[in-house]
Amino acid sequence: MLANVADYNPFAPELPTNSPKAHYAISEAALAAIREFGGRDWMRAVQRFASSGERLIEVFERNRKASSIPVRFPGGASLELSPGRHNEIQKAVVEQFVPRFAPNAELLYLGDTAHKGLHLKRKELDALHFPLTEHDKLPDIIFYDGEHDWLFLVEVVTSHGPMSPKRVLELERMLAAVSPGVVYVSAFPTMAEFRKHLRNVAWDTEVWIAEIPDHLIHYNGDRFFGPRERRER
């Protein structure tokens, strides 16, 4: 019906929606096109049918855009993320975490659940010697604070885990040539979600919770907020 291929109750439009006689029938417009299938006028018939109403793919695309998640970057630029809980927290990191804890930072990478490399500043990451050969191993968000020479790596915890010891070790090995200090952040939607992962968060990393955006939890006792000390290699 949305694609104008079928009509609902065309032979008895007065029927109530719960009538046992409710029925569907192919639309006249679709039938006229289908009758030309295999003949020389087939493509013209398809074009006539398409022009008789809105194409279903256009309807779906409009609905998708209507439900997308707009994200405004530091500096005013913006883009749209596909709908979903993961991207809602990514939006919160960009719009709430960064202004509070790294107000002069530049967003270098933001992956989308539907498009992994949606926002990627390759030139800037290359200048920091950040390897981009394995996109599946990148954190969800990367931004750089030039004032402190800190590189923030953020994992958004909705469907996968936080900055665990294993994940941090993997990233440390990948970033052996990176010169800035690296700050590892696990971003959670709620305190309840954070509690599920308490034991899996690595020491010397930061925890940020979207429902209490003004606060950080630092996994160490002798200092607060900053790059993790690198192990001797």
Q: State the pTM of this model.
A: 0.67
Q: What is the rounded CA–CA span in Å between residue 34 and residue 30?
A: 6
Phi and psi, residue 230, nearest 5°: -85, 145
Task: Provide mean pLDDT across the span 96-105.
Answer: 91
What is residue 59's predicted lDDT score, i.e. its pLDDT? 57
Find the mean pLDDT for residues 95-102. Answer: 92
The total number of residues shown for the chain amounts to 233
- Phi and psi (nearest 5°) for 49? -65, -45
CB atoms closer than 10 angstroms to residue 92: 20
- Domain limits, the chain: 6-64, 69-218
Q: What is the reported pLDDT for 15?
A: 76
Phi-psi category of 4—alpha, beta or left, where left has phi over 0 and alpha has psi -120 to 50? left
Beta carbons within 8 Å of 169's beta carbon, 6+ residues apart = none
pLDDT band at 213 (very low <50, low <70, confident <90, very high): very high
Of residues 20 and 225, more confidence is placed in: 20
pLDDT digits 0-9 by tens, 39-74: 999 998 888 888 776 665 565 555 555 567 778 777
Check: CB of residue 6 under 8 Å from CB of residue 25: yes
> Rg of the chain over CA atoms, in angstroms?
26
What confidence score (pLDDT) does residue 71 get? 82
Amino acid found at 15: L
CATH superfamily label, 69-218? BsuBI/PstI restriction endonuclease, C-terminal domain (3.40.1350.80)
pLDDT tens sequence across 154-188: 999 987 899 999 999 999 999 988 989 999 999 99
